Amino acid sequence: MEPGEIERLIKERKAKPDKSIYEHSLGAMNIARKLLKRIPHDAELDECLLRHVFLHDIGKLDDRFQERLKGNRKKAPPHAYLGLELASRLLDCPEPYRTLALASILTHHSDLHPTLYSEEINRGESLIINGIAVSNPAETAKHVRNRLATGRLAREHGFTGPEGKVRFRALYTLFNGLLRVSDWLESAGLGADFYHLNSGAVVRGAVLNYLSSKGFSPRDYQLAVTGKGGGYFRLPTGDGKTETSLLVTSDDASKVIYSLPTITTTEAMRKRFESIFGPDRVSFSHGMLFLSLYLSGKLDEKLIHRYAMKPIFVSTVDQVLLAFLGYPRFPVREFALRGAHWIIDEIHAYTPFTLSLILDGIEYALKYLGTKVTVMSATLPAPLAEELGRRGLKELLPDKGVASRYHSRRRVKIRIGNGNLFDAVDEIARQRGKVLVVANTVGRARRVYEEIKAKRDDVYLFHSRFINRDKREKMELVEKIKSGILVATQVVEVSLDIDYDVMYTEVAPVDALIQRFGRVNRRGKKRGIAYIFEPEGNKKHLPYDRDAFEETLNLLGELEGVENELELLRLNDRFYTAIWNKYERELKKGFLWKSRDGLGRITKWSRGEKLLSTRDTFMSLPAVPRPFLEKAIDYASRWEERSHEKRLDATVYVIEHTVNVPIWTLKENLHDNDDLREHFGVFGVELEYSRETGLTEEL
């Protein structure tokens, strides 16, 4: 076919029911042009990048696609495959960019994998126009797919060794991320301004307006870091870490991506950001996104939120790490980081393996995506600060400058209790005001709760073994408690904005204890007290690392003598120095840089989510407890006969009645049902359940 004939056809034939292929392609290309202006990249690639965006839907010329669009046909061969050979004739780029562009077109709806479109290739499926096979893309598709999937194209053009593979990956995600985002925005009737910030100054202005509305002026240290673009710092709780990190945003930032450790903190920050920037500018994502959107009546916005389609994106850190692990649609996730300001909150809260992924991801984003990165924590340990420096981040607030702020904080007096937590039950029951009791395991928390509950009524229990519906309600209740006793596990460390008068806690690693102390006298208006008790038994360290637990025991005497938060900070530095070798072992492995499942791959790897949920943690799996199991299985077994609306109702029911169960508990009480696993990805667990105390495990 001649170029003139192709141009005529793409103006005549439809990409959407109300839009020609030409109109859609031109619109996507214009969006891509605007997106490229906001991200760091090699400008010499612009012509090739834009041209491949324009050509991405040329396979829709096929008669069968046109018939399907009119409703005369249910299915048609994939247009991304059908148009590839025709696109190759019209794409004039030097190698390897030409083949990368073709690979991007081939994978703009399906991630690259070694057998992509094998059925179509084996059938020799052709592009058919007016009943005539005008192009057979089989050999082109096979050639492009195999050269990328095997790494041959990268090697042929000098992208060798671990670093070469990573550089090649970054090129592929530039092409494919740009194409997918531009295509999606145009199809949704949205523009580049919906996706990117016009300027980072917009972020800083919104934060200053927010502070002013609350009656605050920016502090000296906040003014000192304004517009710096990235780095690391630590500030005491209550000193405006979030606002400070946002003020760091530089003018050239394309987005703000804000990462947190938990779903709860992400939901809280999302609401806060919506009040600062407006709901129309904020997207969010976490493991319970479906349920969150369903409850707010916004299920149709799932793609907008999951793939950071708005200028401000807040999510759990795993949603960003999945981009580096080849998770489905990883080029879209990675594209959001290009030129963005990535803020990582509560950096201390991660296990050694997850921290290693974060640090590798920071290094990659800085080098290859043009990302600015800011890391912060109230308890940022010195060894981690040094590691951040080695990865390319600078200290934003020198230690000397903030030491006085820590020194002035004298919120909690620490005392070492006699015996264990159960020995203090009578004393706890006599306390007045707001009392927080923290046990390290769910079993002990439930036992303490039941013993105190026998002595007074205003006692509440909160831990991780409640079904999702009750967990949400428990969190809302806990945040509203005006007086009484809350018995909890470590879920209170970084998840809730709560303020108690006195705390009774079991020994936990120093950094975890500091987080717990932060739940006492949080506003600094009085002097709180925290009592620490040592658990009993051979496995008293669980669920924590034994070495970290025992190092804390060695420091207990010094903890009791701490006068202010600066001394706590110094003690935390010593604690981390003593246990840092365990972190170093993971950091040296460089999973993202060295593993075949890390940054060197450009084929999809769907096991990334499982890796994040199981490494360095006690593995838990989602399960439906016995009281809700019969109904959940009924929903699953009759799935095929249910309407779309009924399937949606069933999905919500199962998600809301699911709890994460430790694998050893699940194995002993498993109710395995094929339909339940197939349709909902959950198990059944033959244990009773109480809305008051949660899953009834053996103590």
What is the SS3 assignment for 408-443?
Answer: CCCCEEEEECCCCHHHHHHHHHHCCCEEEEECCCHH
Q: Is the peptide bond before 96 cis (omega within 30 degrees of 0)?
A: yes
Enter the pTM of the model: 0.94
The Cα–Cα gap between 248 and 241 comes to 11
CB atoms within 10 A of CB 478: 19
- The helix/strand/coil state of 562 is coil
Q: Give the span between the Cα atoms of 652 and 295, in whole angstroms.
A: 9
Closest to 575 measured CA to CA, from 351, 354, 381: 381
Rounded Cα gap, residues 337 and 326, in angstroms: 15
The backbone torsions φ and ψ at residue 624, rounded to the nearest 5 degrees and listed phi first, read -100, 120
Which of 450, 500, 67, 469 minimizes the C-alpha distance to 461?
450
Query: What is the pLDDT, as a whole number, of residue 615?
Result: 66
pLDDT attached to residue 499: 85
3-state secondary structure of 62: coil
Nearest-CA neighbor of 86 among 36, 38, 133?
A: 133
Q: What is the pLDDT of residue 663?
A: 85
Cis peptide upstream of residue 662 (ω within 30 degrees of 0): no
Is the Cβ–Cβ distance between 39 and 192 less than 8 Å?
no
Tokens representing 456 are: 């007074």
Name the stretches of the chain with pLDDT < 50.
699
How many angstroms separate the Cα of 634 from the Cα of each of 294, 330, 472, 631, 647? 22, 35, 25, 5, 12
Question: How many C-beta atoms surround the C-beta of residue 546 within 10 A?
Answer: 11
**Helix, strand or coil, per DSSP, at residue 71:** coil
Q: Pairing mode, if any, of strands 19-20 and 14-16?
A: antiparallel
Residue 561, pLDDT score? 86
Q: What's the pLDDT score for residue 495?
A: 60
What is the distance, to the nearest Å, from the Cα of residue 179 to the centroid of all Cα atoms in its chain? 23
Taking Cα atoms as reference points, which of 69, 29, 68 lies closest to residue 50?
Answer: 29
Q: How far apart are the first and last CA of the chain?
A: 75
CA 251 from centre of chain: 25
Q: Give tens-digit pLDDT for 614-630.
A: 665 556 889 999 999 99
Judge contact between 337 and 367, C-beta under 8 A.
no
The two structure tokens encoding residue 254: 């394309």
Q: List 259's β-bridge partners, or say none.
A: 315, 344
> CB of 504 within 8 A of CB of 519?
no
Where does residue 117 fall: left (phi above 0), alpha (psi -120 to 50 degrees), or beta otherwise? left
